[in-house]
């Protein structure tokens, strides 16, 4: 369902014909999916009880649901954020107030993952981290200045991880934006 929603939302015909309030309702459903799967994944005792009951052969998790719903949620909100024709300033502010804490929370969890023991989690979260880096880099100037102090040190901490080329490019875009705004110049 999450994948279908992602594909629909990337289709301009769908996006252009669905009212903003309905899109926001869909994002709320994605947010609920993300929160549910996150809570389930964090409840190790529940997962062990399910496994020990013999219902399934291995320790259950909802990592795919958690990463997919958060990624699509972020992507949908940011597309709305960028659409000044559909979204008014108040809604845009609400979107920013939702996106920034979510991005910070996901970045915090990602940088705390151990590469030796949690490589599967790291692999699953990388596309979401890249999406977050792109979103942060593309905020308008005021929102970038507001969010930068919250994410800057977390993005620096990404250097402690194995970086894919996509992550390096997204990080470079972020740091170029930092240079443009705080130093007064960007570099290629």
Domain boundaries in the chain?
2-183
| Angle, helix 20-42 to helix 89-112, in steps of 10 degrees | 20
CA-wise closest residue to 76 among 105, 110, 99: 99
- Give every CB contact of residue 8 below 8 A, 6+ residues apart in sequence: 14
Where would I find the H helices in the chain? 2-10, 12-17, 20-42, 44-52, 63-82, 89-112, 119-138, 141-157, 165-178
Q: Which residues of 90-106 are buried (b: 16+ CB within 10 A; e: fewer)?
A: ebbebbbebbbebbbeb
Residue 184: the pLDDT is 81
13 pLDDT band, cuts 50/70/90, is very high
pTM equals: 0.92
- Residue 12 CA to residue 23 CA, distance in Å, equals 13
φ, ψ of residue 140 in degrees (nearest 5): -65, 170
- Residue 106 CA to residue 31 CA, distance in Å, equals 13
Locate 15 and state its tokens: 């996006």
* Residue 186 predicted with pLDDT over 80: no
1 pLDDT band, cuts 50/70/90, is confident
DSSP summary character for residue 85:
T
CA-wise closest residue to 38 among 100, 116, 143, 121: 121
Q: What number is the average pLDDT over the span 4-20?
A: 92
133 pLDDT band, cuts 50/70/90, is very high
State the CB neighbour count (10 A cutoff) for residue 61: 16
């Amino acid at each position: 369902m999450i994948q279908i929603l992602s594909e629909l939302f990337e289709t301009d015909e769908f996006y252009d014909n669905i009212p903003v309030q309905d899109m926001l309702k869909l994002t709320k459903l994605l947010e609920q999916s993300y929160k549910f799967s996150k809570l389930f994944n964090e409840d190790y005792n529940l997962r062990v009880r399910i496994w020990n009951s013999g219902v399934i052969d291995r320790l259950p998790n909802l990592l795919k649901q958690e990463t997919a719903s958060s990624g699509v949620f972020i992507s949908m909100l940011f597309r709305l954020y960028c659409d000044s024709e559909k979204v008014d300033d108040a809604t845009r502010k609400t979107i920013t107030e939702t996106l920034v804490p979510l991005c910070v929370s996901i970045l915090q969890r990602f940088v705390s993952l151990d590469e030796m023991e949690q490589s599967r989690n790291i692999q699953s979260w990388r596309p979401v981290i890249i999406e977050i880096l792109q979103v942060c880099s593309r905020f308008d100037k005021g929102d970038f200045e507001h969010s930068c102090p919250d994410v800057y040190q977390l993005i620096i901490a990404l250097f402690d991880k194995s970086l894919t080329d996509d992550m390096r490019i997204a990080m470079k875009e972020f740091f170029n934006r930092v240079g443009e705004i705080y130093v007064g110049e960007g570099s290629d």
